[in-house]
């Protein structure tokens, strides 16, 4: 009697867990903080409702090491990650990230080829822009990296990120290299041009918070900073402005783990998350632009708001898309190593 009872109890548990599994779910991972909160409202909740799935969230400021350990076991827990495109590509090359079957992602058709790789689709864009103190420059602010380098016409203190990515590109643009001929970067030429400006750079900033504080305190008159940090300072009422002209577009992408436990749902989620209508929700919650430019055609984003978005077609046309491929190449890695010795001398 007892035995049959426990068997039926086991059956019940099995049935229950089977029922649980059939209610579709995925585990989605992003970088945490205000950014993940914003996309929960903008993207994740609407998609969950639309598809009738459960989205379990996890966050990791640097997903790469976790991706490595999870896929090494062959039984990962995560399904979809929002991570720098570089990680999707090198993850794909090392067999950790699923090669995407684009026939299962019809919404990706709207997305320009430059925003896609065999392993990833652009999710959202941010930008490294030229920001400046309005009081310091009045009606004639710096508009390009050539102006940034021109210490005679534009005196004042300057800051750049303590990292070669986007900084080398800015140096080359200032030196007259056309935007469409930047890659592969002429690293020697870039460092030579940086050497020229180096005595005039007051701060090489290391964190986004630091770059914002430098602007807000008036410690520096112009700098390269991430657009979201600059707009935050402007919202505080500081006399600060910026230009998207010659800004550097960077994105994070969605990719799927190799051996994802819920592969089919992961594909359905990915397709829905990059739909123009869903992507158009981004600007309502955060100063990052949709990864799918078709979002701007939905009418959901006002022209005034679109003007503040890094990825709006108008702003994107003024900017340079950072080449993740180049930066993950051996030449890119070499440039990163050379940076430390440049800063120190």
Q: Which residues bind another protein (CB under 8 A)?
A: 157, 162-163, 202-206, 210, 217-220, 336-337, 340-341, 343-345
- We find the least distance from the C-beta atom of residue 35 to another protein, in angstroms, to be 19
Distance CA 236, CA 35 (A): 19
Q: Say which DSSP state 98 is in.
A: P
Nearest 5°: the CA angle 34, 206, 127 is 55
For another protein, which is the closer residue by CB, 256 or 335? 335
Under DSSP, is residue 37 helix (H, G, I), strand (E, B) or coil?
helix
What distances in angstroms separate CA 299 from CA 129, 279, 290, 302, 313, one per listed residue? 26, 12, 14, 7, 14
**Strand ranges (E), 60-200:** 80-84, 116-117, 120-133, 158-161
- We find the least distance from the C-beta atom of residue 143 to another protein, in angstroms, to be 24
- We find the least distance from the C-beta atom of residue 65 to another protein, in angstroms, to be 8
Nearest 5°: the CA angle 267, 270, 271 is 85
For another protein, which is the closer residue by CB, 152 or 337? 337
For another protein, which is the closer residue by CB, 293 or 332? 332
Query: Which residues, 6 or more positions from 20, have their beta carbon under 8 angstroms from its beta carbon?
Result: none
For another protein, which is the closer residue by CB, 49 or 337? 337
For another protein, which is the closer residue by CB, 103 or 344? 344
- We find the least distance from the C-beta atom of residue 230 to another protein, in angstroms, to be 19
């Amino acid at each position: 009697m007892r035995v049959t009872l426990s068997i039926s109890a086991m059956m019940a548990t099995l049935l229950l867990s089977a029922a649980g599994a059939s209610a579709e779910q995925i585990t989605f991972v992003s970088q945490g903080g205000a950014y993940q909160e914003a996309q929960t409202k903008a993207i994740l909740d609407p998609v969950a409702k639309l598809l009738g799935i459960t989205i379990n969230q996890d966050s990791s400021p640097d997903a790469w090491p976790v991706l490595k350990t999870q896929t090494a076991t062959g039984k990962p827990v995560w399904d979809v990650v929002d991570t720098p495109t570089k990680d999707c590509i090198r993850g794909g090359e090392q067999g950790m990230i699923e090669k995407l079957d684009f026939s299962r992602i019809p919404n990706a058709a709207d997305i320009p080829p430059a925003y896609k790789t065999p392993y990833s689709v652009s999710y959202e864009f941010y930008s490294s822009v030229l920001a400046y103190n309005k009081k310091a420059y009045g009606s004639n602010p710096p508009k390009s990296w050539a102006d940034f380098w021109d210490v005679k016409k534009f005196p004042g203190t300057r800051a750049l990120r303590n990292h070669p990515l986007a900084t080398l590109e800015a140096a080359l643009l200032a030196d007259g290299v056309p935007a469409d001929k930047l890659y592969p970067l002429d690293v020697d030429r870039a460092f030579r041009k940086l050497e020229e400006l180096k005595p005039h750079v007051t701060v090489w900033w290391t964190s986004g918070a630091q770059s914002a504080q430098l602007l807000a305190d008036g410690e520096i008159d112009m700098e390269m900073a991430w657009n979201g940090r600059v707009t935050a300072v402007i919202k505080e009422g500081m006399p600060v402005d910026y230009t998207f002209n010659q800004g550097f577009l960077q994105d994070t992408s969605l990719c799927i783990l190799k051996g994802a436990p819920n592969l089919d749902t992961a594909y359905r989620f990915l397709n829905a998350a990059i739909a123009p209508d869903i992507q158009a929700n981004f600007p309502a919650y955060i100063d990052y632009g949709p990864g799918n430019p078709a979002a701007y055609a939905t009418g959901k984003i006002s022209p005034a708001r679109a003007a503040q978005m890094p990825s709006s077609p108008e702003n994107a046309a003024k900017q340079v898309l950072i080449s993740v491929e180049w930066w993950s190449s051996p030449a890119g890695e070499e440039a990163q190593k050379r940076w430390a010795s440049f800063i120190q001398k």
